[in-house]
Structure 1
Amino acid sequence: MVAAVRVVPNIDRYAQRTAARRGFASPMDPSQQKEYAFEMAASSIRFGPGCTQEVGMDMKNMGAKRVCVVTDSTVRQLTAAQQVEEALAREGIQYEIFDKVRIEPKDSSIKEAIDFAKPYRPDAFLAVGGGSVIDTAKLMNLYTEYPEADFLDFVNAPLGNGRPIDRKLKPLVAVPTTAGTGSETTGTAIFDLVAKRAKTGIAHRNLKPTLGLCDPLNTRTMPAAVKASSGLDVLCHSLESWTAIPFNERTPRPANPILRPAYQGANPISDIFSLSALRSTVKYLPRAVRDPEDFEAQSEMLLAATLAGVGFGNAGVHLCHGMSYPISGQNPGYRHAGYEVSGPIIPHGVSVAVSAPAVFRFTGPSNPERHLAAAEAFGVDVTGVKREDAGRALADALTAFLADLGDQPAGLRGLGFGPEHVDALVEGTIPQARVLMLAPGLAKELEQEREQLRDLFEDAMTH
C-alpha cells in the first residue's frame, strides 16, 4: 500500500478553504461563486547572450515561410534587428518588415499595423523591440486570424466586448530589447483607446508568444531613462502580483475554462516568480541605470522582467496599473527626460510607479505579512514593525528607492497634475475592471470605490 503524499501546506490551505465553502444542497448565484482553481500559462523562454542568432532556425523549425517582422524605427537601426534579418536570410525565409510601431501604442497605430499584416498574410510573426512592439505584434496576429472581427470585439470589458480568443493564432516569436514589460511571456497587449482617454487592452492566454528569445546583448543599447522606466514596470509587476487578492477569492467562477481570465489573483506558482523578480529588481536596477557597462546588472534585469512577466501574467496586477492608464492617457503635457519623442510622454513605468507609495499604504491592511515581506526585500528591518504599519513600511521603502534611483517625479504633481485633475483620473480608472477586481481592499460598490480612488489619487500627489 502506497502512503498518501500530503500536498504542500499552501495548496492544502487553499483546498481546505474552498472545500469548506462548497455546498451542493442549496443553489448559489453563479456570479457570487468564488474561484477554486488556477491555471499556469507562459510562453516558452530561451535566455542567453547571443540567442537572437537562432531565430531563423526557429522559424524554419516552425515551418514558417512568410514572416512578418514587427519593430519600430529606432530598433530597426540596432544590432538586434540586423541580426534578425541576417538569421532569416541565412535560412532562406521570406519576410516583410513593419517598422512603424508607436511607442505607447494608440488604437490608431494598432489598426495601421493590422492593415499592413492582413494583405501580406504571414504564417508567422517576429517582434523585435520593447513591450509596445511585442503588444502590437500580438494584435496583428489576432486580427489577421479574425479578419471579420470588429476592433472592440476582443478589447477588455467594459470598454470592449471581452470576446474570448477561441482560434489558434499563428506562431509569434518575441525578441525583447528592453527589460521591463515581460510581454514576451504574457497574453496581454496594452494600448490607448483615444476616444475614451484611457489605456486598455486585450488579455487572453491564447495571445501569448510561442517563444520569447531573451538575449541580454539586446538591452545594452537602452538609454538610462528607458532602463529606469522599464525597470520600474518590473518592480510594480512583482509587487502588485505578490499582493493581489488570492485566486480563490476572485468571483465569478468561470462557467467554462476558456473564460478563466489570464489575471487570476495571487497563487502559489506566481508567488515564486513575483518575489524573486522583486528581490532582483531592488538589487540590480540601480546598478543598471547608473553604469552602462554593468552587463551583469543588465542581464539580471532582463531575467527579472521575464520572471515578473510569468508572475503577473498569471496572477495579475491591480491598483498601480489601473491608476496608471488614465495618468498616461490624460497627460497634461509632461515629457520625460531621456526619451527621444516628438511630443509629451509619461513612460509606462513612470506612470505605474508614481502612485505606488500611496497604493501600498492603502493595501497594507489586506495582507500585512506580504507587505512586510516586500518591505524586507528593500532591506527594511521589519522585526519591530507592527502589522498595522506594514503598508506604511513598504510605502516608505518605495519612496526612498524612487528618490535614490533619480529623475523620477515625487508624485503626480511632478507630472503636472493637480487637484483639478482628480475626478477625471478617477473616472478613467473605474473602467479598468480587469485589474481593479484584483485590488485588495477596494470596494465593490461604485460610489464607495470612487471615493477610495479619489483618496488614492490625492495621496499620490506627493510622496
Structure 2
Amino acid sequence: MVVARVAATARARATNALRTISRHPPNCPCHGNPMHPHNVAKTAAMASRYLASPANETHKQKEYAFEMAASSIRFGPGSTREVGMDFKNMNAKKVLVLTDKTIAQLRPMKVAIEALESEGIQYEVYDRCRVEPKDYSVKDAIEWGKARQADAFLAVGGGSVMDTAKIVNLYTAFPEADFLDFVNAPLGKGLPITKPLKPLICIPTTAGTGSETTGTAIFDLVDKKAKTGIAHRVLKPTLGICDPLNTRSLPAAVHCSSGLDVLCHALESYTAIPFNERTPRPANPILRPAYQGANPISDVFSFQALKSTIKHLPRAVRDPNDEEAQTEMLLAATLAGVGFGNAGVHLCHGLSYGISGGNKGFKQSGYEVDHPLIPHGISVAVTAPAVFNFTAPSNPERHLEVAALFGADVTSARAEDAGKILSDAIMEFLEELGIPPKGIRQLGFDRSDIPELVEATLPQRRVLMLAPSFEDEIERQRDALAGILEESIDY
C-alpha cells in the first residue's frame, strides 16, 4: 500500500540519520559553534568573499548535508511561573518585556510579571507590538530597545510579538546597522549575523506560529506591499515556555487562523524539496540557510504536527473549553515550528505575503484590532488547495499519504490523481472549520489583482526555492503562480 510504503521509508531515513548524528558528535565547543568568538571574524570575512564570488563552484553543486536547530522548549500547564527563575539563573538583572495591548491586560502577562518581581528582576514593558507587524511598528520597537540597557528579553504573545522581540534583540546588538542589512534578499541585503545576541525567552499565547522554536521573524515591508523578514539561527529564542493555560481564552477565530498556520507549516515542510536537491551548496556551514528542504528529522516533527492538527483543530475551534484539544494544538504548533524551522515552507507562505501585504480593507472578525487585517493563517491556507494540486506531481506518494491523514481513501489511487485528491481533502477540512474565506475573492481580490499578487510573491526566493515542481525560469514562475491564484479565486 502506498501510505505504508512511504511511512516505512520515512522511518528508515530518520533512523539512519539519527545513527549518523550520534556517531559523529561535535568535537569541541569552539569548533562546533560557528558563533564562538574565535570563529566570528573569520566567518564574516569568508562570508563576504563567498557572496562576492558568483563563480564559486559550490553555487552549482547540490547540498549534501542538513542541520537540526531549535530552541530549548519547556512544555506544561503553569510553566509561565518559572520565567523569573530562568532569568535569575542567567544572572540577568534587567529584562525588556515585549507584548501587545491586548495580552498586556491578560493572565499570561500578569503571571510573567509576577514571576519576574518574585525573583527581584528589574524590567520595562513595551506593549505596542502590532498584530501582523509592519516595518514601521518594528522600527518603533527597535528604537525603544536601543534607548534601554538590558541583559535579556522576554516576549509574551503570539507570533507577531515574538518576531518583533527577535528583531529588537538583533538590532540592539547591531545599533549602527541599517534596517535592511539583515532582511532577506532581494528585498533586503541578507547580511550574515556575525555575533551572538542576548538571551530571549518566548512565551507563546497562541497555538500557531511556532516562533518560539525558530530563527525566523516576519513583518510587512510597507512600500513593497509584501511581507519579508529575517531568518538566521542566531535569532532563535534561548527558551520557549509553552504553557497551555495561556491559550485558554482565545476566540474561535484566533484558534482557527493560528491552527491553519500550523497546518500549512506542517504540509509545506513535509512536501518541500528534499534537502539534497537544494542548491547552492554552502562554502562554509555558517552559510547554510535555516530553511534547508525536507529531511528525515524534520519529517518526523512535521508529520506528527499534521496528524495532531487534523485531529484537534476542529475541536479547538468548535469548543473553546476543550482543554485537551487546545493543549494538543499548542504542542502541534511547537512540533511544526521545529519541522519548518529546519525544512522550510514554500508556496502557501510565499503567496500569503502578497495577499496580506496587499490587503484592500478586509478585517477578520474575532480579532480585537482597529485596522484591516487578514490573519496570517487565513492568508496562508486560502491558496492551499491549489498549491498542493500543483506540487503533487513532484512526489505523488507523499501527497497521497497526507490525503490519507485527512481521511481520503487512497487505497487504489493513481499517482496522477494525487493532487486532486489532496486538494479536495483540504477543501473539505476548511469547510468543516467554517471560518476561513472560500477563496481570495472573499478577501477582496479578483482576477485583475493576480499580476500584482504574482509580483509581490516573486521576491520571496527564500521559500520559493523550496517549492517542488517549481521552475527556475522567471516567466514560468509567473505562469505557475498566476495559475495557482486563478484556481484560488473561488472554491
Q: In the alignment, residue 100 of structure 1 is paired with which amino acid?
A: R
Pairing partner for 2:346 from 313, 318, 332: 318
Equivalent-residue separation in structure 2 for 1:365 and 1:13 (angstroms): 27
Q: Does 2:433 match 1:405?
A: yes
Aligned to 1:224: 252
Pairing partner for 1:208 from 236, 255, 277: 236
Superimposed CA distance per residue, residues 56-82 of structure 1 (whole angstroms, 9 cap, x where no aligned partner): 000000111110000001001001000
Aligned to 2:13: 10
Q: Does 2:237 match 1:234?
A: no
Partner SS for 1:289: helix
Q: In the alignment, residue 10 of structure 1 is paired with which amino acid?
A: R
Aligned to 1:114: 142
By how many angstroms is 1:337 displaced? 1.4
By how many angstroms is 1:392 displaced? 1.0
CA contact (8 A) 2:385 2:426 kept: yes
Equivalent-residue separation in structure 1 for 2:417 and 2:16 (angstroms): 26
Q: Does 2:478 match 1:450?
A: yes
Q: Does 2:300 match 1:297?
A: no
Q: In the alignment, residue 298 of structure 2 is paired with which amino acid?
A: S
CA contact (8 A) 1:360 1:394 kept: yes
Q: In the alignment, residue 148 of structure 2 is paired with which amino acid?
A: Y
Equivalent-residue separation in structure 2 for 1:111 and 1:445 (angstroms): 35
Superimposed CA distance per residue, residues 258-294 of structure 1 (whole angstroms, 9 cap, x where no aligned partner): 1100000000000000000000000000000111110
Q: Does 2:121 match 1:93?
A: yes
By how many angstroms is 1:29 displaced? 3.5
Superimposed CA distance per residue, residues 119-150 of structure 1 (whole angstroms, 9 cap, x where no aligned partner): 21211000000000000000000000001110
CA contact (8 A) 2:346 2:467 kept: yes
RMSD of Structure 2 on Structure 1 (CA): 1.4
Alignment of 1:68-107 (within 5 A): 68-107=96-135
By how many angstroms is 1:12 displaced? 9.9
By how many angstroms is 1:30 displaced? 2.5
Q: Does 2:390 match 1:362?
A: yes
Question: Which moved further from structure 2: 441-450 or 208-217?
Answer: 441-450
Structure 1 segments unaligned to the other structure (5+ residues): 1-6, 15-26
Partner SS for 1:327: helix
Alignment of 1:33-432 (within 5 A): 33-432=61-460
By how many angstroms is 1:10 displaced? 2.5
Equivalent-residue separation in structure 2 for 1:429 and 1:8 (angstroms): 34
By how many angstroms is 1:349 displaced? 0.1
Q: In the alignment, residue 147 of structure 1 is paired with which amino acid?
A: P
Equivalent-residue separation in structure 2 for 1:63 and 1:377 (angstroms): 46
- How does the TM-score come out when normalised to structure 2? 0.89
Equivalent-residue separation in structure 2 for 1:363 and 1:137 (angstroms): 34
By how many angstroms is 1:343 displaced? 1.9
Superimposed CA distance per residue, residues 190-222 of structure 1 (whole angstroms, 9 cap, x where no aligned partner): 000001110000000110000000000000011
Partner SS for 1:103: coil
By how many angstroms is 1:11 displaced? 6.9
CA contact (8 A) 2:211 2:337 kept: yes
CA contact (8 A) 2:96 2:123 kept: yes
Change (3 A) 1:355 1:139: same
Equivalent-residue separation in structure 2 for 1:12 and 1:305 (angstroms): 24
Aligned to 1:4: none
Superimposed CA distance per residue, residues 62-103 of structure 1 (whole angstroms, 9 cap, x where no aligned partner): 111110000001001001000011000000000000000000
Structure 2 segments unaligned to the other structure (5+ residues): 1-9, 18-54
Percent identical pairs in the alignment equals 67
Partner SS for 1:441: coil
Equivalent-residue separation in structure 2 for 1:210 and 1:200 (angstroms): 23
| Count, aligned residues | 445
Question: Which moved further from structure 2: 58-67 or 331-340?
Answer: 331-340
Superimposed CA distance per residue, residues 141-173 of structure 1 (whole angstroms, 9 cap, x where no aligned partner): 000000111000000000001111121100000
